[in-house]
Amino acid sequence: MSINIYDIDFTPMGIAWEQQVIPPNGQTTFMPAIYLDEWVSTGSALACANVYTDWPKNNGYSYCPEKTANFTITTTTAVAYLNEPVQTDGYCEGTFRVPPEEAPYSGTYFVAVGAWSVGWKAWQNTTFTVEYQVPADFDHNHEIEIYDVIKVTGIYGAKSGDPDWNPEIDLKPDGAIGIYDVVRVTGIYGTTY
């Protein structure tokens, strides 16, 4: 069985589930967790499921026509564990990115964190407020200046997953630092707020 997912732009987000299935009674239920990269567009999305006689690479064929389902992606990074938290001395630290549609990022945010390990559960939440910020102000000094231009042009061409990738600089966001990101910063060069 495989489930492929696509965002609102019909950009493939990869295979969400790939499993060999041999159910004893002919029925099985899957509830796969789907990892979403930071570049994935929020909004409507599509899941396409197929059940095969064997892996396609082994000349397997589909048992029936592909089935599809629509769903909504509300956020891609609001869960800290998606960003590989660091564990030290029984504590975990993680980061998350405010969804791009929330620009200019100001407002009050509620964050909830849960952890499960060997039967133990922990839950904590907090609220924090972010002051108004122009997304192109990467050094957060309330001015779009040469340092902000250098930040975006310095990693021009970088893609999600690259070592120099910085999702904060992907202003579109489309998973790559491109001309749109450069123009967005240089177009307001000299602005203070």
Show the domain range for 27. 2-73
Q: Quick one: 11 and 45 in the same domain? A: yes
Residue type, 67: K
Tens-place pLDDT, residues 130-163: 777 788 999 889 999 999 999 999 999 999 889 9
**pLDDT, position 20:** 57
d(CA 166, CA 104): 17
Do 151 and 168 belong to one domain? yes
Task: Fill in the DSSP letter of residue 149.
Answer: H
- Label residue 179 by pLDDT band (50, 70, 90): very high
pTM over 0.85: no
Instruction: Specify the higher pLDDT residue, 76 or 186.
Output: 186
Is 64 in the same domain as 91? no
Shared domain for 187 and 140, answered yes or no, is: yes
Same domain, 36 and 61: yes
Q: Are residues 42 and 64 in the same domain?
A: yes
Note whether 101 and 140 are same-domain residues. no
Element (H, E) at 124: strand 120-130
When divided into structural domains, the chain yields a total of 3
